[in-house]
Amino acid sequence: MEKFEDLGFCKVDFDREKRTGYPEVIYGENKTVEQMIEIMSRLLYAHGKAMITRLSADKAEELLDVFPAAKYDAVARILTYGVADPVKFGKVLVVCAGTSDLPVAEEAVLTLEWMGCRVDRLYDVGVAGLDRLLAHKEAIQQASVLIVVAGMEGALASVVAGMVKRPVIAVPTSVGYGAHFAGITPLLAMLSSCASGMSVVNIDNGYGAACQAALILRLAAEGAET
């Protein structure tokens, strides 16, 4: 098989799984159903699995008619078909500040599951009620990698990163009032954090955080096997 196929409107990257560990993922926003059907058909032929992110419910309904074995989650706006081989080492904990942040948190969770990772959720534990977070201190400290999703002022990520000796991936969300500036405030707060060992992805990028966490677990699994 060639490394990519030119469909005119896009070039499907068949070599990406070999290069990076996971196949190309389809970004569904602004693509037509017909375009996604063509891309997904080729990815399934090459890899036996595929995922579409940022997919609206009406487009998902049409795609499910074509790919009935696929699954769609309306909160995460993700459609998946198949899963990667399981990552045999470690677990990711996705920590979410509030219910309004759930779409981003669930995007991370479903991406991780599709990538073969074990995942736990810890939701609605924002710093406005710190006891909710501290009640789960043991679970937080036992996770191999943590993804922390927060809007407003984004303080939750710094608090969690100060509790653990594990990689923490912070995800700012576009949830908040006016001075929150659609995610800019938590983004800058996370980038300016005094907590060591924390990395930050772009606003609302649960998918990107999941990719980073999955690569960390896969690298750790490789080390455990040698």
The pLDDT of residue 33 is 97
The span from the CA of 174 to the CA of 181, in Å, is 8
What was the pLDDT predicted at 73? 97
Q: Domains, the chain, ranges and CATH? A: 4-81 (no CATH), 92-225 (3.40.50.1970)
Residues 202-218 pLDDT 10s: 999 999 999 999 999 99
Position 226 confidence tier, pLDDT thresholds 50, 70, 90: low
List of long-range contacts for 9-12, beta carbons under 8 Å, 24+ apart: 9/35, 10/35, 10/39, 12/39, 12/42, 12/43
Could you report the per-residue pLDDT of 147-158, keeping only the tens digit for each?
A: 999 999 999 999
Q: What is the pLDDT of residues 162-180, one digit of tens each?
A: 999 999 999 999 998 988 8
Measure the CA–CA gap between 171 and 7, rounded to whole angstroms: 34
> Rounded mean pLDDT of 86-106?
95
pLDDT digits (tens, 9 = 90+) for 29-52: 999 999 999 999 999 999 999 999
Which amino acid, one-letter code, is at 204? D
Share of the chain above pLDDT 90, in %: 88
pLDDT band at 220; cut points 50, 70, 90: confident
pLDDT of residue 2: 79
